[in-house]
Structure 1
Amino acid sequence: MHEAKHTNPLHGITLKAMVEHLAERYGWDGLGARISIRCFTHDPSVSSSLKFLRKTPWARAKVESLYLHSAAHPRKTDTAPPDDAPGPG
């Protein structure tokens, strides 16, 4: 059982952190398009989403899956330096 914590990629990541990351990355509209549930499509908020996801295992599984996918495939803009960063030379 101790080894399971080390192999679980979601270990230590809260549901709130996942929802905030996904909402920031995709926006509420994009998140609702990827996971069609009312807490993302109708008057979305982190608070209302957490209430629903904590009671709905299938929806939470979809959020966890999308989070893992987004973490494994960062956008190029996520790692690019800011526009005002000094360039080489």
Structure 2
Amino acid sequence: MGAMTDHTSRDPLHGVTLEQIVVRLAERYGWDGLARRVPVRCFENNPSVASSLKFLRRTPWARAKVEALYVALARDERET
């Protein structure tokens, strides 16, 4: 049982909401930087957390890119 707990605690997406991910990435990169990394309209034109969440919940490929960017950010922050 302990091994399962250890595994989930290492997953950077465990216990993190999509809203927390979007907010964290926008804080780190800014909307312009986020739009360069994940070029979707919700980040490029009049971006907001609400519009981004609506789009990402309906668009699995974009959500996957945003989650991958968050995982990379979390990994980079752990290494520094």
Normalised TM-score (structure 1): 0.75
Q: Give % identity.
A: 60
Alignment map for 1:59-74 (pairs within 5 Å): 59-74=62-77
30, 44, 49: which one pairs with 1:46?
A: 49
**Paired residue total:** 73
| Higher share in helix | 2
Q: Is the 8 A contact 2:26 2:34 kept in 1?
A: yes
Structure-2 residue corresponding to 1:27: 30
Query: Deviations 1:20-61 (Å, cap 9, x if unpaired)?
Result: 000000000000000000000000000000000000000000
The one-letter code sitting in structure 2 at the alignment partner of 1:30 is G
Q: Is the 8 A contact 2:21 2:67 kept in 1?
A: yes
Normalised TM-score (structure 2): 0.83
Q: Is the 8 A contact 2:32 2:44 kept in 1?
A: yes
Unaligned runs of 5+ in 1: 80-89
CA RMSD, Structure 1 to Structure 2 (Å): 1.8
- The 3-state SS of whatever aligns with 2:39 is coil
| Greater RCO (CA < 8 Å, at least 6 residues apart) | 2
Unaligned runs of 5+ in 2: none
Rg comparison, structure with higher value: 1
After superposing on structure 2, the runs of 4+ consecutive aligned residues of structure 1 that deviate more than 4 Å are none
